Amino acid sequence: MHPAFALPQRRLLELREEFGLFIAAEALVVGLLAQNTEKAAEWARNALRGTGVESVYTGIEGILKDLLLETDGQVFAAPESWHAHLLAQAAAATDERAAIISEPVYTKLDEIRRFRHVERNVYRQEFREPDVVRNFELLKEVFPEFVADIERLISRYAPPAPPGSTGPS
């Protein structure tokens, strides 16, 4: 592994642990509330899932930002569209690097990004449970794919040699 990826690698390990805890907590809490049809039980299920999806997705964005800073020097985006551009930049190959995330991972993460915006900016009582469940299931599907994409990049990446460099001595 290139030393420039030490921080993204560490953050990926931490995010994998958080994802595992989120999945376990969701199973526990939703299992306890499964038979309860009260509005408060639905709110609790939605709040847990929505917050968990938002938290893991935010961690994904942080890892992508770290990788883009290392590989591209910055995230090229205006503040009002930063999150959308971050994903698009990570999915685009450049002359210097392959795409960081695959097109299928990009498509799924972009859908979760839109949900994350709703989760952060809308009252939870307005969540529709089918939308929350769909995004939770989508996160469970895409997270291992995201991890595989990042691990592939980290294992293969070798930055270009500095100008005038003759290689290792």
Among 101, 113, 106, 111, smallest CA distance to 147 is for 101
Q: CA-based Rg of the chain, rounded to a whole angstrom?
A: 18
pLDDT at 113: 94
Helices (H), the chain: 6-33, 39-72, 82-91, 103-121, 129-156
* The pLDDT value given to residue 160: 55
Pinpoint the alpha helices (H) of 73-81.
none
Smallest CA-to-CA distance from 91 within 109, 78, 73, 77 is with: 109
Q: How many CB atoms lie within 10 A of CB 152?
A: 14
For residue 104, the surrounding DSSP H or E stretch is: helix 103-121
First-to-final CA distance of the chain: 19
pLDDT score at 25: 95
pLDDT at 96: 87
Q: What pTM did the predictor assign?
A: 0.88
From 23, 70, 81, 69, select the one nearest 49 (Cα to Cα).
Answer: 23
pLDDT value, residue 128: 81
Label residues 120-146 b or e (16+ Cβ within 10 Å = b): eeeeeeebeeeebeebbebbeebbeeb
Tokens (6 digits) for 66? 């770290």
Residue 150, both tokens:
């990042």
User: Tens digit of pLDDT for each residue in 12-26?
Assistant: 999 999 999 999 999
Q: What is the pLDDT of residue 163?
A: 66
| Spatial contact of 22 and 55, defined as CB atoms under 8 Å apart | yes
List the domain boundaries for the chain: 3-156
Tokens encoding 65: 């930002």
Q: Please identify every stretch of the chain with a pLDDT value under 50, giving residue numbers as ranges.
A: 169
Q: Which residues of 89-107 are buried (b: 16+ CB within 10 A; e: fewer)?
A: bbbeeeeebebbbbeebbe
The pLDDT, as a whole number, for residue 162 is 62
The pLDDT, as a whole number, for residue 112 is 96
Tell me, what's the pLDDT at 167? 53
